[in-house]
Structure 1
Amino acid sequence: MSEQMHPLRIAAAPISWGVCEVPGWGQVLSASTVLSEMSALGVVATEFGPPGYLPAEPGELRELLGPYGIAAIGGFLALALHRDPEAACAAARASAELFAAAGAEVLVLAAATGEQGYDTRSQLDDRQWRTLIGTALEIREIAAGHGLRTVVHPHVGTLVQTGPEVERLLADSDLELCVDTGHLLIGGVDPVELTRRYADRIGHIHLKDVRADLADRVCCGAIEYSAAVRQGLFVPLGDGDVDIETLVRSAHAGGYRGWYVLEQDTALAAGDTAAGPSRDVERSLRRLESIGAALVSAGAGNERIRAVGA
């Protein structure tokens, strides 16, 4: 099979079952429950979830993941890169050590404000911005020392959220991006266009579909991000306003061969079960598999055309 015919590498993340690092976000299902749901859907890889959600001791982590046939590929780490570089690097080093010991490959870094949650954020002056970039580059070196790639995740309620901030990050550094289709759209960035323009800077992809009406309200400050999530901001792939198929096709055509992580941020109320999130993840998974199958079919057709032409 040629490189053009490789299937998509699909993973999941605990946030799709409401597991979030924000205090008071909602009910947190146990790791065994979430992993069991992933395994039942045929998911073979996951991000770690919030620090401490999965065991921090490598042996315990392998013992937990093994029976489910799920590999850990890395995880999300939100750090105040502009405030205390030494503390941020220490936290990143601890996560990188765990990720590497688990056989993971990517550290997904977000420029946190230093406050709890993602509902408010401040603006940085030039000095703080330079500190943010410098700290991110230092963390990339730390992660590389453990065999990990580092990608920066534009994220609602962080210091890299809007189009100008994403463009400035790309201009001021050679850092790679985590393209999160939902957070980019909410920040006013077209994720499909970004993927086309910066194919060589895409290091990781989080796939969400989004209701544009709610995204617009978050973007203009009419509603807080957490409230919008509870009102159904994120929906299964194909049910929202992100052109997921075009984005995947563009990323693939641009040479991206990394993970496509299904991430539908949700928040569970007390007493909610895993059934609803699992139903949504299954719909997204089947949609993404369908897109991947079409890529394989198109690749096979191109191979036949080239063979006939030869």
Structure 2
Amino acid sequence: MTTKSGIRIAAAPISWGVCEVPGWGRVLEPATVLGEMAELGVRATELGPPGYLPGEPGPLRALLAGHELALVGGFLAVPLHTDTDAALRAAGESAAQLAAAGGEVLVLAAATGLDGYDTRPALDSPQWRTLVRTAERIAAAAAEHGLRTVLHPHVGTQVESGEEIERFLADSAVPLCLDTGHLLVGGTDPVELAKRHPERIGHVHLKDVRGDLADEVRAGRIGYAAAVGEGLYAPLGEGDVDIESMVHFVRQAGYDGWYVLEQDTALGESSRDDQPREHTRRSLAWLSGIVEPYQGDRE
């Protein structure tokens, strides 16, 4: 893809409630999710959790092509601080699949090894060194498949807080996925982080956040999954993240990669099936108002 005068916009199944966490919520069919992406004018997507879309490259390519969607990359949350061999195996399988289906980036998160994102143990120094070393080895292995690897600071993982992010940046050469929502919920201003480390931005996830609920999550008064169910993430421009400043800054700093609309959603039994589509439509409309999106002409 080429950038031309605008920005490259992609989507992700998590914006439709498709998540790897057990019991997260109702899961819509791939045909519905990919079809609504295409109807909204989106031309690329991240992969979604393992098993949601076909694992074999041929069927995956065919499914995406049927909706005129390219593959940007995929999210992989694995423990990096314990079993390095298991993490490398999982990452190798994911990288091979992504590369064969036309993906560009492996979005890596330092999972705790526990289900969900509500609890995380503290790491000792040897575990932290293992985490950093494993991330570096995964990045090298993914590069053999032609993929870039970014580390995604994520709520409920071993790299969440501002202190952990700065420590990782000091100890590792792996760039970051700048996720505006997870950063804010974790206590980091995404604009200030981008300004401190513009050269380390390797990928961007766009979310807007209700600050009141983010405060509740940080204070431990509500779990992350419950907060998502209560509407932690709002359509772009309707929350408390200064996304406009962040987008303008990273563009001026030379970032020309993807901007992925990746707004975590959980669909309960009473949730409307059209809510994800409507929220994504509003986000796209708002984004179009601050910068010209460029979504077409795949190479």
Same fold (TM over 0.5): yes
What is the rounded CA distance, in whole Å, between the counterparts of 2:226 and 2:271 in structure 1? 17
Q: Secondary structure at the match of 2:74?
A: strand
What is the rounded CA distance, in whole Å, between the counterparts of 2:293 and 2:168 in structure 1? 34
Tell me the amino acid that sits aligned with residue 65 of structure 2.
Answer: G
1:264 corresponds to? 263
Higher helix share: 1
What is the rounded CA distance, in whole Å, between the counterparts of 1:294 and 1:218 in structure 2? 32
The structure-2 alpha-carbon separation of the partners of 1:49 and 1:161, relative to structure 1 and needing over 3 Å to count, comes to same
Q: Does 1:55 align with 2:34?
A: no
Q: Does 1:186 align with 2:191?
A: no
The structure-2 alpha-carbon separation of the partners of 1:272 and 1:214, relative to structure 1 and needing over 3 Å to count, comes to closer
Matched ranges for 1:221-232 at <5 A: 221-232=220-231
The structure-2 alpha-carbon separation of the partners of 1:294 and 1:76, relative to structure 1 and needing over 3 Å to count, comes to closer
2:31 corresponds to? 32
Contact 2:7 2:293 in 1 (8 A): no
What is the rounded CA distance, in whole Å, between the counterparts of 2:114 and 2:206 in structure 1? 26
How far does the alpha carbon of each residue in 1:176-227 deviate from its partner, in whole angstroms, 9 at most, with x for none?
0000001000111000111111110000000000011110110111110011
Matched ranges for 1:83-122 at <5 A: 83-122=82-121
Shift of 1:66: 1.1
1:147 corresponds to? 146
Compare 266-275 and 235-244 and name the one that shifted more: 266-275
Shift of 1:47: 0.2
Query: What TM-score do the two structures reach when normalised by structure 2?
Result: 0.96
Contact 1:133 1:169 in 2 (8 A): yes
Q: Secondary structure at the match of 1:270?
A: coil
Contact 1:154 1:160 in 2 (8 A): yes
2:297 corresponds to? none
Alpha-carbon RMSD across the aligned residues, in angstroms, is 1.5
Shift of 1:270: 2.8
What is the rounded CA distance, in whole Å, between the counterparts of 2:181 and 2:257 in structure 1? 18
Contact 2:81 2:134 in 1 (8 A): yes
What is the rounded CA distance, in whole Å, between the counterparts of 1:183 and 1:65 in structure 2? 27
Contact 2:6 2:293 in 1 (8 A): no
Tell me the amino acid that sits aligned with residue 191 of structure 1.
Answer: P
The structure-2 alpha-carbon separation of the partners of 1:274 and 1:39, relative to structure 1 and needing over 3 Å to count, comes to farther
Which protein, 1 or 2, shows the higher relative CO under an 8 Å CA cutoff with sep ≥ 6? Answer: 2
**Higher-Rg member (1/2):** 1
What is the rounded CA distance, in whole Å, between the counterparts of 2:147 and 2:4 in structure 1? 26
Tell me the amino acid that sits aligned with residue 235 of structure 1.
Answer: A
Shift of 1:6: 2.3
1:298 corresponds to? none
Contact 1:34 1:274 in 2 (8 A): no
1:133 corresponds to? 132
Tell me the amino acid that sits aligned with residue 224 of structure 2.
Answer: Y
2:173 corresponds to? 174
What is the rounded CA distance, in whole Å, between the counterparts of 2:273 and 2:227 in structure 1? 20
Contact 1:211 1:241 in 2 (8 A): yes
Q: Secondary structure at the match of 2:291?
A: helix
The structure-2 alpha-carbon separation of the partners of 1:261 and 1:4, relative to structure 1 and needing over 3 Å to count, comes to closer
Tell me the amino acid that sits aligned with residue 180 of structure 1.
Answer: D
Shift of 1:51: 1.0
How far does the alpha carbon of each residue in 1:30-58 deviate from its partner, in whole angstroms, 9 at most, with x for none?
11110011010000000000011110111
Q: Does 1:79 align with 2:78?
A: yes
Runs (4 or more) in structure 1 with deviation over 6 Å come to none
Contact 2:5 2:292 in 1 (8 A): no
Identity of aligned residues (%): 61
Contact 1:37 1:274 in 2 (8 A): no
The structure-2 alpha-carbon separation of the partners of 1:36 and 1:294, relative to structure 1 and needing over 3 Å to count, comes to closer
The structure-2 alpha-carbon separation of the partners of 1:46 and 1:118, relative to structure 1 and needing over 3 Å to count, comes to same
